[in-house]
Amino acid sequence: MDDVRRIVVVGASLAGLGAVRALRAEGYDGEVVVVGEEVHRPYDRPPLSKQLLLGTWTTDQLALEAADEGLDARWVLGVPATGLDLTTRTLTLADGTRLVADGFVLATGARARRLPGADGTAGVHVLRTLDDAAALGGELQPGRRLVVIGGGFLGSEVAAAARTRDVEVTVLERGTRPFARQFGEDVGALIGALHARGGTTVRGGVDVAGFASEPGPDGAPRVTGVELAGGEVVPADVVLVAVGAHPNVEWLRGSGIEVVDGVRTDDRGATSSPLVVAVGDCATVVDPEGGAVRHEHWTTAAERPAVAVRTLLSGGSAEGRFTGIPYFWSDLYGERLQFAGHREPGDVPVFVEGSADEEKFVVVWERDGVPTAVLALSSSRTFTKWRRQLAKQTAAV
């Protein structure tokens, strides 16, 4: 791209900040504008359900920027982008501001999925932002009953953190067991056992139908329970809805940018326009065989902007592509769970360390005898060995 004088990054979080850093690292010396819906400068989300809820960190430890970074960017915060017109290269913001630019990095991430009937009911929470974490954290008082809807990573982490505050916790999971849908019954049983040891009640195979409420002290409805499909009401003082996330892409409607769940990109971050790249939780990477994957992983959002920015600055001609294998971690009851690789249905799990009865394990999935993914609880050394091997295998393809 010749004579690029202004690039706008949409989304002021991990992937957006990574894009700004990458632009400067590539020697781009034009103007960089970062537009963010939240009022905050970029902060880290993983600690929201871990250190922040456990009370071991304060909010000022979440900042992603170093004080002396000197990125020389203009931050337009507290206002979302509402439209992109590629013919005039104009981004429109909700307050009517129009920003004309030579290139755009889309990094608008994802937002928490909500359940019908929860809006307007006090005590029902989601957890995606710092503000969500403050609201939820303030409600987790000793002796209160928390019901977590969804036994995935987020729900399980919040359950574990809430137990350290002497909150009574029940996790409602639609699958048979937490994590069983992602990792199979054996792993589900292990995570279920971890919850049981931590004092959390887990109920698998239940469908949530709605919320029970009564007028609170201010007259507004306040949650009193979660209604299950069979009519039973599970009593609750506080509820967390942790049933996944939606990519923030609706605002691109009419822009001509192709969306398939997330913004459609190739493995260099290129979208359907050479003026635009997309990274992080809002991007779906489609491979030449038609496989599509949208990761919601910290490492993916942190690492991929470097390649995408090269794609943008070169007008699409740079050859680099995303490498590396998906990785994420989770902290539960003081134990670290880590996953890496590409697990697909039908891959066969093999316990290479520990077993389904132990508190420490490493499970490797295989396809036709070749390892595809690894999951470990409290076994960082063995996990790292397998992760390296999987990365080498992928790089060799």
From CA 19, how far away is CA 26, in angstroms rounded? 10
Q: Which stretch binds ligand FAD (CB under 6 A): 13-21, 203-211, 262-270, 382-390?
A: 13-21
Site membership for ligand FAD, residue 308 (CB under 6 A): no
- Does residue 16 belong to the site contacting ligand FAD (CB under 6 A)? yes
Check residue 290 and give left, alpha or beta (phi > 0: left; psi -120 to 50: alpha).
left
- Residues binding ligand FAD: what is the number (CB under 6 A)? 36
Measure Cα distances from 202 to 49, 179, 188, 329 in Å: 18, 12, 11, 21
In whole angstroms, how large is the CA radius of gyration of the chain? 22
| 64, 108, 200, 365: residue in contact with ligand FAD (rule CB under 6 A) | 108
Q: Which of 57, 75, 328, 351 binds ligand FAD (CB under 6 A)?
A: 328
3-class secondary structure, 117: coil
Of 7, 19, 36, 155, which lies in the binding site for ligand FAD, with binding defined by CB under 6 A?
Answer: 36
Residue 330 Cβ, how far from ligand FAD at the closest point, in Å? 5
Residue with smaller CB distance to ligand FAD, 13 or 170: 13
Residue type present at position 30? G
Told to check if 43 binds ligand FAD by CB under 6 A, we report: no
**Which of positions 220-249 make contact with ligand FAD (CB under 6 A)?**
248
Residue 272 and residue 258 in contact, taking contact as beta carbons nearer than 8 Å:
yes
SS3 sequence of 248-263: CCHHHCCCCCCEECEE
CB of 187 to ligand FAD, least distance (A): 17
Question: What would the two tokens of residue 46 be?
Answer: 């993983």
Cβ at position 342, least distance to ligand FAD in Å: 15
Q: Which of 155, 188, 280, 354 is in the footprint of ligand FAD by CB under 6 A?
A: 280
Using CB under 6 A, pick the residue from 330, 338, 372, 378 that binds ligand FAD: 330
Residue with tokens 């994590």: 179
**Residue 48 or 206 with smaller CB distance to ligand FAD:** 48
Q: Closest separation between CB of residue 208 and ligand FAD, Å?
A: 20
Closest by CA to 33, choosing from 62, 71, 64, is 71
How many Å apart are CA 130 and CA 128, to the nearest integer?
7
* Spatial separation of the C-alpha atoms in residues 388 and 175, rounded to whole Å: 31
Q: Which of 4, 7, 8, 12 binds ligand FAD (CB under 6 A)?
A: 12
Instruction: Name the residue nearer to ligand FAD (CB basis): 49 or 224.
Output: 49
Q: Is 309 helix (H, G, I), strand (E, B) or coil?
A: helix
Q: Which two tokens stand for residue 341?
A: 């690789």
How many other C-beta atoms are found inside a 10 Å radius of the C-beta of residue 264? 20
Could you tell me which of 349, 281, 267, 353 has the C-alpha nearest to residue 310? 267
* Beta carbon of residue 365, minimum distance to ligand FAD (angstroms, whole number): 19
List the one residue from 48, 124, 126, 263 that touches ligand FAD (CB under 6 A). 48
Q: How far is the CB of 230 from ligand FAD (least distance, A)?
A: 30
Taking CA atoms, 4 is separated from 23, 174, 283, in Å, by 11, 50, 24
Query: Helix, strand, coil: what percent of the chain each, to 5?
Result: 25, 35, 40
CB of 226 within 8 A of CB of 211? yes
Least spacing, CB of residue 297 vs ligand FAD, in Å: 4
**Identity of the residue, 213 or 329, whose beta carbon is nearer to ligand FAD in the bound complex:** 329
Near ligand FAD in 150-209, by CB under 6 A: 154
Choosing from 14, 73, 161, 240, the residue that interacts with ligand FAD (CB under 6 A) is 14
Give the binding range for ligand FAD (CB under 6 A) out of 41-49, 230-238, 267-275, 350-358.
41-49
Token pair for 323: 């490498």
Please pick, from the candidates 4, 9, 10, 54, the single residue that binds ligand FAD as defined by CB under 6 A.
10
Which residues in this chain contact ligand FAD in the complex, by CB under 6 A? 10-16, 35-38, 45-46, 48-49, 80-81, 107-110, 127-128, 154, 248, 251, 280-281, 296-299, 301, 328-330
